[in-house]
Every structure is written in C-alpha cells, then in structure tokens.
Structure 1
C-alpha cells in the first residue's frame, strides 16, 4: 500500500543547508530530495524538453518506484493546443524514455481558455498517446466545474483511455487575502477552481496549495486526509503534491501529510529517511 507525496520542484534555495546538504552538484540534488519525498512534479519540462542525458541522470538518482509526473511542453498544450504536435511529442517521449517506470504519468495541463467545446480535440490527442504511458489531465476552464454535462463529457473521454483528472485544490489558499509577497504573487496567478475530490483511476493525483503559514496549510488539507485514506482502503495508489506560495517548507509538509494519512491507515508503507544535511559523526 503506497501513498506517494512530493513537491513542485526538487531544489529550492530555502532548503539549502536546512533540509538538503549544500552545496550539492547538480547530479546529486534530486537524490537528496528523494530522501524526503518519493514523487515530484516535472514542471521544468513545460518550458523546454530536456536532453535525454539529463533525464538519464534523474533516473540514476532515484529508485524505480519514485514517481515523476512530467508536464507536457508548453508548445504542445498551450501554443498548439494539442493539434499538429507529432514532432514535439516524439521528441518529448524520446527524452523521458530513460525514466522507465519512474514516469508515472504524462501531465496534460491545459490553459484556462481550453473550454468544454475543445474536448473532442483532447480526445483525439489522448487516443494517440502510447499505451505504455498513463495520462493525467488538468483543466482550468470554469465550465468543467460548473456545467455537469461538460464534466461528464470530460470524464467519459478520460475513462476511455484510462486517464486521470488532476484537481488543483486552491480553496484553502483563496479562503482569505494574502499576507506575504509570495502569497500576493500567487494570488494573481493561481487558478480559482471549485474543489473536486473524485478519482477516475486507481492512481489519482492531487495538487494542493496551502499558505505560507504551515499551520494554515495543515488546517486546509484536513478534508484530503479522509479522501486519501479512503482511496488507499479501496486499493488505489494516490500521489499528492503539497505546494505553498513560497514552498520554503514544502518537503516537511509533504512528509507531515503522509504521516497524518498513515495515522489513519497504519499499514501504509513509510517514506524513506532523509539524507543527513551534515555528515554523521561518532562524537
């Protein structure tokens, strides 16, 4: 029984010498992060398809059961809106091939302008993806959340190919005005979508955005503890990503979320032990 947890990145200045050893060469940073969390959002692939050799380094630094949820390139999802994307998709799939089983899902994050009327385009795109890869789709257009028929249409398309609908829960974040520079920045950029807690597959994926105050972040995820515990009892294997606007404590918060779910489901496998920030000594 596995619950994977992670963050939006595997390196962050606020973690250096506090959560992760510092300095670390690039080829060691992911390995140290993987001592804290066993999943990560592949956000960097949105901006550029990485070199295959770079991806091979990611694989070397992680165990085979580590989960990458790799975001499709912006040129595919936003610029070309899933149309005429054979070449960039071929390059992307070739680049991530070294991840092997670590490539948990292809994350299709769609722009807010991608509306329910565009679902046929999504359907055609998903049907062309290799069966070897799972897909996870994140939509942001309000119509998918307010129109029951639109939601059912999307769910039907996803069910056809065994794809998951990824909720990005920002309800706790938008519950009260921002109080820090990082929160004010996120306030203008993050989507305001209604809460969704339904899973379509045996491997649901959740993105949760809290606040820079850890106590408020923890308070806001309470509903997810029961949801995720329920999924585990049903035999599902979820992945949950914990975000805050500044992400300063994201790894410790992700581990706390895992611990709190484990309090409800004691048979849940524990997370790995973090690599010590400082070398251990005898005295």
Structure 2
C-alpha cells in the first residue's frame, strides 16, 4: 500500500524530530532525508515551522525537490501576519508568503490562519476581507471565548466561514489537559495550548482537525473514539478530512497517528494499513538538496 491511496490526510506537526529515529526513521537516517521518509508513511504534515519563521527561498526549493507530490503541507501564515494587527493591512505580506511557497504547488493546501485569543467577534470584518481578497484555500483556527459560547457570535462566524467553504480548524486539547503528569513537556504544552472545547465542523470537502494527545498513548483512546467515528462519517460522505496528531513534546506523535489509523481501520473495513517502515529515500531527489 502507498500512503497516497488513503481516503483522508493523516500526519504530525512536523517531519524533523530527531527522536523519531526510535520508531519512524532508520537509526542512521540523515535529517536531510527525513522529509522523503516521512512522506512514505504519512500523507500530510502540519506547517508549524512557518508560523515562527518564514523559510528562505532556498529552503522552499529543497522542500519542493524532496516533498512527495501526494503530501499536503498545511502551511501556517507567519505570526507577524496572523498576530500582527489588522488583517486587511497585512494582505500584501500574506500574498508575499503565498508567493514564497509557490514552488510547492498544490502540495500547500490549505493555508492555515491561526488567530490569537484576542481576535474576537468585533474583528470579523477583517477576517472576511482577508479571505475574500487573498483568494487562496484557507482554513481558520479561532481561540476567542465568544466563538465557543454557542451564541450569536459563534453562529455568525460559522455562517461566514461556511458561506465561503472555509474550514474552521478543530483543535481538541482534552486529552492533553486530562494529563496530571508534572513533566516539563506536559506543563509547557498545557501552558501554550488553549483550553477550548472541540467544534467538529465540516464547511467544505476537507474538514481540519488538530488532536493534542496525552503522552501515555492508551490514555488517548477515550478521546479518540469520537474522532474515529466522525472521520469515518466524513469519509463515507465523500469528504477528505485532515487530522493531525500531537503529543506534548511530539516525540510520540507518529505512534499516536498510527494508533488513530489502526482504530479507523476497525471502523472502516478495507482501509489499508500504513506502511510499517519507510524505505530508503530516492537518491536522485536527495541529490538536489
């Protein structure tokens, strides 16, 4: 089975964790080989790195040379755009970012706009203008409490997004916040992630889910069960959902992603298993790095 045949997109927050040599990459794999190896097992990756810093054009060229065509890269707009002020004023910066990633072609889909908790209902006009003028596939993650209150403000947001077939990214951190471990990684993740209730919406063909997991993999199962059902339902409706699995330090994120897929296989008989181990990367492509 090749991962490109899956009826949904599955992945982790990055491809570059050195700790994944324990269970995903060969022990002697070079970091420059990770992207190709990752793409042999998963068909999507969350573009967290672009939130913190824009890649250099040479880096994008390297990604384009080694990123498999089937892989989807949900690149986050840099925080100086999503958190930098009026979104209408930042459209030129957003368009420049889109141009920067042009070498990746259709592999960037959709772009993610992760908004701060301070971005509330009074700023929805900015969001509408940003989406309408950018004219790129975009998914939006909101964190303001009003958008989780099941009131008029949440309904207005949902109508605006649904009318444009723009996904509302569903962040589900419940498993993380159920953890009582006092390790530095858990405490850091709990401090950074918003404690919001999940909103499993599907406003387009490609619903988007971020699941922030417990470091003890079996402790995630009760939280995964509803997502297994929901993702299966979306697939049966003919949608192509994206789901990304995190753990507190992400060292076990690929294992959690496999765990989710194995449970989905039980719900969808005939769904193929993920490849067990990535093969050696393609030498010709690696020579372009």
Instruction: Give the TM-score, by structure 1 length.
Output: 0.90
Partner residue of 1:240 out of 227, 239, 243: 243
SS class of match (2:202): coil
* Residues 21-65 of structure 1 deviation map (CA, whole Å, 9 limit, x = unaligned): 345444322111112311111111112221233223223323222
1:103-128 Cα offsets, whole Å, 9 max, x none, are: 11010000010011111110011001
Measure the CA separation in 2 of the matches of 1:169 and 1:30.
Answer: 26
- 1:205 aligns to what? 208
Are 1:185 and 2:188 an aligned pair?
A: yes
Q: Which residue of structure 2 lines up, in the alignment, with residue 195 of structure 1?
A: 198
Could you say which residue in structure 1 is the equivalent of 2:148?
145
Greater shift, 148-157 or 239-248, is seen at 148-157
2:112 aligns to what SS in structure 1? strand
Provide the residue aligned with 1:159 in structure 2.
Answer: 162
Unaligned runs of 5+ in 1: 278-283
- 2:167 paired with 1:168: no
Cα separation, 2, equivalents of 1:136 and 1:64: 21
Residue 13 of structure 1 and its aligned partner are, at CA, apart by 2.5
Name which of structure 1's ranges 265-274 and 176-185 shifts more when overlaid on structure 2: 265-274
Measured in 2, the distance between the counterparts of 1:250 and 1:87 equals 35
Structure 1 residue 82 corresponds to structure 2 residue 87: yes
Structure-2 residue corresponding to 1:281: none
Give the equivalent residue in structure 1 for 2:233: 230
Classify the secondary structure of the residue corresponding to 1:69: strand
Matched, 1:39 2:44: yes
For residue 112 of structure 2, the aligned residue among 107, 115, 138 is 107
Q: Deviations over 1:57-96 (max 9, x none)?
A: 2233232221111100111110124131133223211111
The number of aligned residues is 276
Which residue of 211, 217, 223 corresponds with 2:220? 217
**Matched-pair contact (CA < 8 Å) for 1:5–1:255:** no
Compute the RMSD of aligned alpha carbons. 2.0
Unaligned runs of at least 5 residues, structure 2: 1-5, 281-289
